Structure 1
Amino acid sequence: MFSIGTRGSHLATTQSGHVRDALAAHGHPAELQIVTTPGDLSQAPVERIGVGVFTSALREALFNGEVDIAVHSFKDLPTADEPRAHMVIPVREDSREALIARDGLTLAELPEGARVGTSAPRRVSQLKAMRPDLDIRPLRGNIERRMSYVENGELDAIILAYAGLVRGGYGDRATEVFATDVFMPAPAQGALSVECRADDAAAREAVDKIVDVAATAESAAERAVLATLEAGCTAPVAASATFDGQGVSLRAGVFALDGSRQLVEEAQGADPVELGRKVAQALLQRGAADLMD
């Protein structure tokens, strides 16, 4: 029986439960083990404490032998390789962004000056470009807490990853789901990273059974953009890739925080990592570093 380390939120245990069920379907029974992280105990915005507090605690539990497998939201992991870990990417959930608004409104239907919650610079910059009149407020907490701000009237709308809503059973709460070329998602949004210790042969054999080729290729291309730009996961950088069985199509962007400027590049290629680097280099040549600063 493998132990799977996970944060204790509803979303984290749900997505880790999908991994547990996938492993069991391939003859490798597993159980969830909750790992409490410093980030779970903090009231500070994620952008201040950094998503690394969540991922590092899970990795510490993994490398200390407290758990056999760790499940992360792939977009939260640093882009640098971790030689102590063996990582696979299972089937990816929908990568698009979603709006949850009062009265079933869409983004275009929100009144002037509407209060919209999000703390991610990537989302803030795109919202300001699309609707400069909006009053954008910081947002903190798990999915349930974030949705409560709309339900109790503190906010008119919030922006969340649609993948989290679907995994948590809240997909029907979305009042609008944006096409990726309209509102670009974070690199590897909707993808999970499943890690085990590199020297654990039994766990490696188990997790290798749940690899998804498309999710792996798409995530590799998107995260190569982030790595080449040397940007953190909270930087105003977005990327969306699709794998057609032969190669990858990639679209990536870097945004000014005030919404005044957007740089977007697109390309196709057979090697996901080289494609991501190529697109990132094109963005850098157009001044992406200045926008990120």
Structure 2
Amino acid sequence: MATNQNPSSLTIGTRGSALALAQSGIIAKLIEQATGTAVELVTIKTQGDVLTGSLANMGGTGVFVTAIRNALLEGRVDVAVHSLKDLPTAPQEGTVIITPQRENAQDALCSRHGEILDLLPPGARIGTGSPRRAAQLLAARPDLEIVDIRGNVDTRLARAGLSTADKPDTPNDLDAVVLANAGLRRLGRAHVISELLPLAGMLPAPGQGALAVEVRDSLADEDPGLFSSLMSLHHVPTFLAVTAERAVLRQLEAGCAAPLGAYGHIAGGELHLTAVALDPRSVQSSALPSRPAVRREARVPVSSVDDAVAAGVALAAALLEGGASEFLDA
């Protein structure tokens, strides 16, 4: 769709996982309501869907984004939808990011018998593929055994006996798993949540819970009416908050394997921003002495993207002054 002023339909490029399709389906309905135009989902296989192993070994967050972005830039789809936390922190030339209002960004504990974290038995086995989650879980409960897991949401839930999907080849061997609340709710799996882990002890990944709707910047000239309708989905408080969170990540030059959490929200014209950097050695081996986490908070007035970026950069500097550089180099 390059110059069609009244397109009969729009196409959304999306990954083919159940969660990605659910998220893109939510956006499709919002676009249909905003534009009055039918929307079709086009599934695109990304490098992250093909490769196996840790995210760091696959090449970082861009592995879930690049193929979909290429389809957008080449005009094969009209809109791209991503989990915002999957976007590289560097801006993409030629596109505009629209951020609908964010879902609750907390992480969720899903335990076999419905226990909250404090009531899990000593030595309980908890599954997660995130060093950030693992480090914060061990900071709260050093006795836990963290099990590195991969796979889609149902595969992970099956490890704790919580999936309704048929997973005969998946071991049922964990006491609990930790997943993003937003993803579980978008998939209709809220009933498996035992506890929303408090932000005081479990900060999410920068951008967690938010979606990124990406369009070509040329659309503003090619079809101003459509561009304006799509921009009506943009939630400025969400955008400012996630911009600050991602500025922390970018300033620290922390990769996807760094145990780093950040969360911001806007209240009364102020950005409340918190970030934590954790010792990766706490996850690598219980035999290695781990150092205390470095956590910093700030409350600053924000009214622009520049303000949000400045807040994130300043908080990253505070983390480095507190010793976080030792964790990032580990």
TM-score, L = length of structure 2: 0.85
For 2:293 and 2:262, the matched residues in 1 are separated by 13
After superposition, what is the alpha-carbon deviation per residue over 1:2-22, rounded to whole angstroms, capped at 9, x for unaligned? Answer: 110001111101111111111
For 1:94 and 1:17, the matched residues in 2 are separated by 18
Secondary structure at the counterpart of residue 126 of structure 1: helix
Gapped regions of structure 2 (runs ≥ 5): 1-8, 162-170, 283-289, 302-306
After superposition, what is the alpha-carbon deviation per residue over 1:23-80, rounded to whole angstroms, capped at 9, x for unaligned? Answer: 1111242221111123223332334313321111111111121111111111111111
For 1:273 and 1:47, the matched residues in 2 are separated by 25
Secondary structure at the counterpart of residue 186 of structure 1: coil
Confirm whether residue 72 of structure 1 aligns to residue 90 of structure 2.
no
Confirm whether residue 127 of structure 1 aligns to residue 137 of structure 2.
yes
For 2:23 and 2:293, the matched residues in 1 are separated by 33
| Alignment check: 8 A CA contact 1:46 1:140 kept | no
**Same amino acid, percent of matched pairs:** 41
CA RMSD of aligned residues (A): 1.5
| 2:147 corresponding residue in structure 1 | 137
Match of 1:100 among 110, 114, 121: 110
Letter in structure 2 aligned against 1:282:
A
Confirm whether residue 252 of structure 1 aligns to residue 275 of structure 2.
yes
Match of 1:226 among 249, 254, 260: 249
| 1:287 corresponding residue in structure 2 | 323
Letter in structure 2 aligned against 1:100:
C
Secondary structure at the counterpart of residue 119 of structure 2: coil
| 1:273 corresponding residue in structure 2 | 309
Q: How many residues align?
A: 293
For 2:16 and 2:172, the matched residues in 1 are separated by 27
Match of 1:116 among 126, 142, 146: 126
Match of 2:178 among 152, 159, 164: 159
| Alignment check: 8 A CA contact 1:76 1:233 kept | no
For 1:87 and 1:128, the matched residues in 2 are separated by 35
Match of 1:48 among 57, 63, 69: 57
Q: CA deviation at 1:195?
A: 0.5
Q: CA deviation at 1:140?
A: 0.5
Q: CA deviation at 1:217?
A: 1.4
Gapped regions of structure 1 (runs ≥ 5): none
For 2:11 and 2:315, the matched residues in 1 are separated by 39
| 2:47 corresponding residue in structure 1 | 38
In structure 2, relative to structure 1, the CA distance for the partners of 1:204 and 1:190 (3 Å cut) is same
